[in-house]
A and B are shown apart, each in its own frame.
Chain A
Amino acid sequence: MVNLNNIFNKFFPKSQTSPTGKKLIYMAWAIEITVALVGFSIAGSFILIGMEETKAITGQSSAGSNIQYFIIGLAFFVVGIMELTKIPLATALYYSVRTFWKVVFLLALLAVNFSTFETILQGFQLAYSKNTKPVEIIRSQLEELKDEQSTIKERLGQENQIDDQIAELRNQISQLNQQILINNTEASKKRSELEMQNAIANPRRDSLIKQIDEVSNRISKLVDERSKAVLSLQSIQEGFFNKQKNKREAILKQIQSYDEQVKKLEVDKSNLSNQLDKVLSDNASQNIPLINQINQELKLKNDELQKQIKNIQNDQVQPKLSSKKNITDQQEALLIEIDELNKAIDSKAKEVNEKARDNSFYQLAVMIKVGPGQWFFDEEVKKDITPADLTQEDMKKAFWLWFGFLAFIISVIGTFVALAGLHLMDERMHEIRNQPINRKNTLRYRIGRFFVALSKYFSTQIKVMIKPKTVEKIVEKEVEVEKIEEKIVYQDRIVHVDREVPKETIVKEIVYVPLPTDDTELLKRGPFKASDYDIKDKKK
């Protein structure tokens, strides 16, 4: 049977995709209308709830008191209408040619999509609060009990905290004492430095010290020489005939003069010492005001530090010690209270689990905490999680992960479906599709080539990585080597045989070459005789 389907598809390609595109557009409209209905419903619910609340408070439903709810409701009504502009905006974006208009329509489309996201989220929020309300009431009671328990535990744990704080305060006091000590040493150091500086600065003192040293040296020299003279006096040997009277007298005189000189020098030295003492005492009298100032400063500083120490002792350490005593006294009562709270928490947790068993959202929150919570948020889940173990933070996370993601998809899917429909209905798409793809100057081709090259590179890299590496090792093995016994090989005798070498010989041959001629003279020489045709003709 003849089949011309391919001809039909090429003849009018739009016919192939256009119906699908149309269907997609209808679907996009269905989505948008539904979203718009959500907006209208929220608007209606705001108005109705507002009216009911006003009636409950005032007892009458006047238009004046309801006006604010009407305004909120109308705002959501506008949002609902705005949803219906999404597909026309997508069409405008698709068919716009100039970049300016493309950007404008894109921004408008993004704004509408954001509004859809908010609307859908509002709807989910309503559903969420409605579904979770019965469980949330019990869960909030459970949270309160847990808070109470943690407060008591904190109070119990305060004893350790107070100990730490007291230790810290004592540490501060010891630091202040240390500071006083440092101040004292610094002051004494300053005083001595001051004295030293003054002493060094006075030149008279130096000269006196020098003079005293010189006198002392001279005294010691004279004492040495005197002792030598005494020794030499003792070494003089006096005999009957050898009278050494003169020499002895001379030495005695010398010793006497030494003694006199030493005495004189001792007097000088004592004079110089007196002078030095006077100079030094003068200097000390000059330093007195400065030293007094240092002492005063030191006293002020130390007084301040002492005051601080006293304050810390009285205002901080003492109250802490007393509060610690109080806690220690109350410890037993607090422990009993904690036990009671534990029991109450257990029973509330059971109640929450019972209520949340049929609530899909709580089950979902538990699943998210156990699954993605561990995978993406670094949460450590050690035990089996129940709805009672969930915190407000967990519930929020679950809400955003589930409903937030869903709201995002719902908000953008209408636009994408509309764009897909428009694309399928577009004739240009078929024209572009039917263009030869082997044009090498297009960006698409270049990008394609780039990815092909990249994939080739990676595939070779992977192959190289997977390929087992061959490592060459030299392994020495003992191989038995057969000993080759030398055998005597008997060779045949070489016999030289003379052979004739063929030589090239030139043989002359006479070749017969026929030479046709009618020359009678020549013919007469040859072996043949030419017949006389002319003569015969003549005879005839």
Chain B
Amino acid sequence: MSDIWDKYRKADKQTIVIIGVLILSAKLCKADGHFSKIEEEEILKIVPHEKHQHNTLIEILEDGGNCEKPIQEDARRLRKLVGDSNKNFLEFVVAVLYRLAVVDHVISEEETRDIQIVALEFGVVKYPFMDQVKMIADKFKDKIGVKKWSI
């Protein structure tokens, strides 16, 4: 199966950015095992489109969902495409992913993980969750009697 990014490589930059957002959305929705109809509708609700574009979007979502590459790679590509100067847009995409994650009222572990990966890759958060925990642990290292962490 050919890469979805390669498939749309000749499109406009703006189109590719939207495709990237759709891929990330599809992969996040599929992270917990199944891509429900509600999630699909929610994606289409977030992405404002014309009637004639509906099928194209669904096709892209299916392709994105079927793609086996990790979400981290897609996030990296999107960040490269958008550029570091448009941090506002990248934050907006993270917010969109969070909205998709909570659409079924439960955020699964996989979804949390994927959002974290994307946010880290976008550079909108500084440290991964565990690193933040480690920093807190470092702060209280003396009080809890640890000189050096084993890992």
Contact = CB atoms under 8 A, between A and B. Distances in A.
Interface of A: 1-12, 14-15, 18
A10 to B, nearest CB: 4
A8 B88 contact: no
B116 to A, nearest CB: 22
A11 B20 CA distance: 13
A449 B47 CA distance: 34
B14 A8 contact: yes
B109 interface: no
Contacts of A2: 8, 11, 15, 19, 56, 60
A15 B18 contact: no
B53 interface: yes
A333 B14 CA distance: 91
B47 A6 contact: no
Given A12-B89, A15-B89, A7 B11 contact: no
A14 B10 CA distance: 25
Interface in B12-66: 12, 14-15, 17-19, 21, 46-50, 53, 56, 60
Interface in B88-116: 88-89, 92
Contacts of B11: 1-4
A5 B17 CA distance: 9
A5 B16 CA distance: 9
B interface, size bucket = 20 to 34
Interface centre among A6, A8, A10, A18 (most CB of B within 10 A): A8
B24 to A, nearest CB: 13
B19 A4 contact: yes
Given A3-B12, A4-B56, 4 more contacts: A7-B47, A7-B53, A8-B17, A10-B48
Contacts of A4: 11, 14-15, 18-19, 49, 53, 56
A5 B10 CA distance: 13
A18 B11 CA distance: 23
B15 A11 contact: no
Instruction: Tell me the dominant secondary structure on chain A's binding face.
Output: helix
B131 to A, nearest CB: 29
A6 B50 contact: yes
Contacts of B21: 11
B93 to A, nearest CB: 8
Nearest to B18: A4
Contacts of A1: 10-11
B48 A11 contact: yes
B89 A5 contact: no
A15 B53 CA distance: 21
Given A15-B86, A15-B89, A8 B10 contact: no
A7 B89 contact: no
A22 to B, nearest CB: 9
A238 B98 CA distance: 176
A12 B56 contact: no
A2 B8 CA distance: 8
Contacts of B88: 14-15, 18
A1 B18 CA distance: 14
B18 A7 contact: yes
Nearest to B92: A12
A3 B21 CA distance: 15
A191 to B, nearest CB: 112
Nearest to A425: B88
Interface centre among A2, A10, A15 (most CB of B within 10 A): A2
A11 B10 contact: no
Nearest to B86: A15
B56 to A, nearest CB: 6
A10 B12 CA distance: 16
Given A11-B21, A11-B48, A3 B15 contact: yes
Contacts of A6: 50
B92 A8 contact: no
Contacts of B47: 7, 11
